Homo-oligomer: A and B are copies of this chain.
Amino acid sequence: MQDFSFHNPCQIEFGRSRAAAFAAAVKKISGNVLLLYGGGSIKKNDVFDLLTAEMDKAGIAFIELSGVKPNPGIDSVREGVRLCREHGPGLVLAAGGGSVIDCAKAIAIGAEYDGDPWDFFTGKAEIHSALPVACWLTLAATGSEMNGNTVISNRETKEKLHAGSPLIIPKVSLLDPRSTCTLPPLQTAAGTADIMSHVFEQYFSAEKESYLQDRMAEAVLRTCVTWAPVAIMEPENPEARNQLMWAGTIALNGLLGCGKGGDWATHMMEHEVSAITDMTHGIGLAILTPYWMDYIFDADSQPGFAALAREVWSINETDDVEAGRKGIAALRQFFLDMDIPVRLRDAGVTEAMLPVIASQTVRRGPVGGYRSLQEADVLQILKAAW
């Protein structure tokens, strides 16, 4: 295990009974916020009413920006920045899933910067300052509610890029599992795949000594494997929704990666897939992950795959190669059972796109902290997954 730094000051309020505490924490920072949300599902369910009622009680005024899309675009960010310049809110409040939260974070840094916010994603600008961010989370998936990452798409340039800073870790996040009870099954499945992928990206590491971290990672994976099928069969099962949402937060709040490096190649590939196709992030990850696993399966990685198989899938198999292969098969079956497409071709990717995706994935050099992948490697994985 390597030396590390861990600092996550995000205040988590879990469950609707904590709504007043959430609003109080927001009010402590600012009584004047930009409220950001997506396509309006928070108005179809009761989140908008609940949230604005709590804001009213706490004395928080707000302006609204709605219509943030999945794979949120830099255009929404620019619009948010414009509103901030006009109205001067003291905090950006995201109500929704990862897309809305990531967009809020990008607005928060853009509002404190004179140039175009896309500069932060291309590396042209560094993050030195940000408006405070808060979230009301309505999807178990992203982890963005408790970390300093944002991923934004630029539909003009067909890029989907990442920026990050401790400054955009939300100050307070209300986790609202009940709001996820009305999700369509495929969105629950995609969210689960996203959570599991976040764990895999940290589980597979060049650092071999990370016993506690790995057992905790397996705890999150087992939570997904145990509770996602329940949430899909019984959408209103409160404990299934609770468990998945908390798993999503733990999966990417920094804890599982302490003292070890991660991989993240699958995320890099998926970002390019969804930059071209607008595919749901979790679906892309679910499709690519098992093929990435097949590709990197060798003498060095087999003990890790075997541990995964034994701990998460309870595969009683002493041979590492056999156990590892059965674990990957179990993961594939798990995604299949949740009706996630298993091939890129079934999710809007044409064969002609594959070389473009491959070359875009490595345009800043090889990807993957655990297994370094060149363009040819990426292309092979994409072809297998197509």
**Chain A residues with a Cβ under 8 A of chain B:** 1-18, 21, 209, 211-212, 215-216, 218-220, 222-223, 226-227, 239, 242-243, 246-247, 250, 255, 258-259
Contact = CB atoms under 8 A, between A and B. Distances in A.
Given A5-B18, A212-B219, A212-B247, 4 more contacts: A3-B15, A4-B12, A212-B243, A215-B218
Contacts of A226: 211
A258 B14 contact: yes
B6 A9 contact: no
Contact of A219 (B5, B17, B218): B218
A321 to B, nearest CB: 22
B3 A14 contact: yes
Contact of A1 (B11, B216, B246, B255): B246
Contacts of A10: 7
A14 B4 contact: yes
Contacts of A7: 9-12
B12 A9 contact: no
Contacts of A222: 211, 215
B1 A17 contact: no
A211 B18 contact: no
22 contacts: A1-B243, A3-B14, A3-B15, A4-B14, A4-B15, A4-B18, A5-B13, A5-B18, A7-B10, A14-B258, A211-B223, A211-B227, A211-B239, A211-B243, A212-B219, A212-B220, A212-B247, A215-B223, A216-B216, A216-B250, A242-B259, A246-B259
A212 to B, nearest CB: 4
A259 B220 contact: no
Given A7-B11, A14-B3, A18-B5, A246 B218 contact: no
